[in-house]
Structure 1
Amino acid sequence: NRATPPRRSSSASSSSSSIRCSKRSARMRTGLVSTLSLLNTPRSGVARMQSELVQLTRETTTGRFADVGLELGARTGTSARLHIDTAALAAIADMNGLAATRLSETRAALDHVAAGADAFLEQLILGRDAAAWPQAQTDSALQSLIGDANATGSGGYLFGGINSAVEPLADFDAGPKAAVDAAFLARFGVAADDPLAAEIDPADMADFLDNEFAALFADPEWAVWSSASDQPIRSRISPTETIDASVSANQTAVRKLAMVYAMTAGLGVGGLGAETRQVVADKAIGLLGEANSDLTSLRAGVDVAQGRIADATERVMLQKSILENRIATIEGVDPAEAKTKLDMLSVQIEMSYSLTVRLMRLSILNYV
């Protein structure tokens, strides 16, 4: 009799069948997950590469790190201080440009004032002994001085000092004329345009010009003429240097010129006696000489200030260039390396797009 082989239990057979089914099911799921991963992997990488592309493009364009703080770490404070110092030097250079422009305009106005004084001096010399007094020329010279003193530029009145928002000199008829007429009347008992003024003694006129009339152009009476400030505009031309960057209408030269023009235009000189008129003319000629000397000093001071600004600006720009080079050393990127990375990343992005398109075109229908 043959031996009958033992039968497998039903539980063992069921377990073996379950294992085979599980393996087949696992293989089927693995295939589905693998296809999805191939499709999503290029998509997930594109966003990261696009972000890197933006940073590399910025670095290639600017020549510095896209995120300076991230790249420098603890050295970020040094970089920030260098930027602050550079900005301060740039601001000084800009202010120097404004100060230089203001002084250039001031110099031109002073030149015009000096030219007018020279021309008027010639007229006075000719009119001293002439039968007719050059009243029209004296009136014009007075108005010309007021116009030059009220010249504007660089956003304000050039001769106003720190009070550059207000006209420095008042119009003669707006106040100064009344003060001159009052002083004349108080001294001689007649108005300047009264025919009796022809009888004024030359010595009395000389004393009046040296005292009561001269006092009108000294403080505090000068306030009737001028609204300018004695304090000039100060300008910082370097981290350690400041200068006067304006000229005030309260300078002695301007006061003497105002005295000359007011004297010859507002005292009715044409109606005075010949000798008295010569006293006025001689006084005016002497004051014009003094005023011209003072104007020369003022113009020389402006020239010196312009030279100091030019020298200071050159030093400031040199310091700024040194700081900018230090910043470039700390924050700068290698242009060639950045360009190479940018090109490689662009190729990777193009390949990723191409792969994504090809995967999206895959369809089982193409193989049925």
Structure 2
Amino acid sequence: MSLVSLGDLAQSFVMRRNMGQVKAELQILTQEMTTGVSADTVRHTGADLGPLNAISASLARLAAYHSATTELELFSGAMQTALQTVDGFATDLAPQLLSAGAALQDSTLDALGAQAEQSFKAAVAAFNTRVGDRSLFAGSATHQTPLPEGEALLATLETVVAGAATAADVAAALDGWFTDPAGYAAQAYQGSAAMAEITIAPGEKAAIGVTALDVGIRDTLKGLAMAALMGRGVPGEATAGRAALATMAGEALLAAQPHRAGLAAATGMVEGQIAAAQARNSAEITALELARAKIVSVDPFEAATKVKEAQTQLEMIYAVTARLSSLSLMEYLR
């Protein structure tokens, strides 16, 4: 049997190749031992990637739900804040208007008229609130500001009540304009229908249906506008007429309170639905991530054993290399 030997150059090449392979394997094994995750998923799962792909698809879908619920949560929260702010204006002003209507004092009527005008403009600004450059109360036309600015809207209303001789005439003119489809809905509201439903969880949809066209918002603006116009001398300079209009404004704000409460309740229900969907989605994400980790995880004891074996093998290669490097002709001839 003939003996086959390797030349020095070939032997050096073989040793370097083996050393490189063991180093690469040691690096992979160390990574697996540290992270607890297999570096070669295909090999680890026996090329059965179906469960992993299904989990990844579910997680991607849940990520989309998370984005939708986060945006809807932001919208509903900001909308609830605006509704509460305007309700605070109306709730605070209504009893004062009723009291001033009975007192028949011009100074009190003037002060309440100025306060009502500020509240009206602030209410319009609240309904024109934008979140992320998207309007809250414009329905699906989120790129549009739903209402003109408060001063411009008051100027329009002054035109609407022009010529009204009594408080009753002013109230009737305002009521007609706010309820007529050719009035508030056509001349003031610049949005569109309510937003469509969006999917927030598997098999579940939600939508915020509140717009500046809702009765609670229209009637509240009507009551505030009535009081603001009273402060501007409508229906005339007579104290009795202004006092009567103040009383009607207070009654209008009180009458709109159940509608405002209904809008807040509807928005609150959507907030609750979103919170429940987020909790379910979060639990499902956690379960899927645990399942994925179980599939790709490696046994820590086995990983540590393999690392030790690779280290021993590498040390042996180093020792052999060092031994071969120290050989000389004198050592060979001994």
Q: Which interval holds the TM-score relative to the shorter structure?
A: 0.7 to 0.9
SS at match of 2:200: strand
SS at match of 1:242: strand
SS at match of 2:161: helix
Q: Does 1:130 align with 2:105?
A: yes
Q: Does 1:269 align with 2:269?
A: no
Query: What do the CA deviations read for 1:128-161 (whole angstroms, capped 9, x no partner)?
Result: 2222323321221111111221223355333233
Asked if 1 retains the 8 angstrom alpha-carbon contact of 2:26 and 2:307, the reply is yes
Question: 2-side partners of 1:54 and 1:87: how far apart?
Answer: 31
1:241 aligns to what? 204
Q: CA deviation at 1:231?
A: 1.0
Q: Does 1:206 align with 2:145?
A: no
1:181 is aligned with what amino acid? E
Q: CA deviation at 1:241?
A: 0.7
2:149 aligns to what? 171
Q: Does 1:89 align with 2:62?
A: yes
For residue 217 of structure 1, the aligned residue among 178, 192, 203 is 178
Q: Indicate how the Cα distance of structure 1 residues 47 and 294 shifts in structure 2: closer, same or farther if over 3 A, else same.
A: same
1:3 aligns to what? none
2:20 aligns to what? 47
- How high is the sequence identity, in percent, across the aligned residues? 26
Count of residue correspondences: 324
Question: 1-side partners of 2:13 and 2:301: how far apart?
Answer: 33
Q: Indicate how the Cα distance of structure 1 residues 162 and 102 shifts in structure 2: closer, same or farther if over 3 A, else same.
A: same
2:53 aligns to what? 80
Bigger-Rg structure (1/2): 1
2:49 is aligned with what amino acid? T
Q: Does 1:302 align with 2:267?
A: yes
SS at match of 1:340: helix
Q: Indicate how the Cα distance of structure 1 residues 78 and 348 shifts in structure 2: closer, same or farther if over 3 A, else same.
A: same
CA RMSD after TM alignment: 2.9
Q: CA deviation at 1:255?
A: 1.0
1:256 aligns to what? 219
Asked if 1 retains the 8 angstrom alpha-carbon contact of 2:36 and 2:298, the reply is yes
Q: CA deviation at 1:367?
A: 7.0
Q: Does 1:184 align with 2:147?
A: no
Is 351-360 or 108-117 further displaced after alignment? Answer: 351-360
Q: Indicate how the Cα distance of structure 1 residues 220 and 54 shifts in structure 2: closer, same or farther if over 3 A, else same.
A: farther
For residue 324 of structure 1, the aligned residue among 289, 312, 315 is 289
Question: 1-side partners of 2:182 and 2:302: how far apart?
Answer: 73
Question: 2-side partners of 1:160 and 1:58: how far apart?
Answer: 54
- The normalised TM-score by structure 2 is 0.84
- The normalised TM-score by structure 1 is 0.77
1:221 is aligned with what amino acid? G
SS at match of 1:75: coil
SS at match of 1:237: strand
Q: Indicate how the Cα distance of structure 1 residues 150 and 358 shifts in structure 2: closer, same or farther if over 3 A, else same.
A: farther
Asked if 2 retains the 8 angstrom alpha-carbon contact of 1:157 and 1:164, the reply is yes
Is 53-62 or 41-50 further displaced after alignment? Answer: 53-62
Asked if 1 retains the 8 angstrom alpha-carbon contact of 2:100 and 2:243, the reply is no
Is 58-67 or 143-152 further displaced after alignment? Answer: 58-67
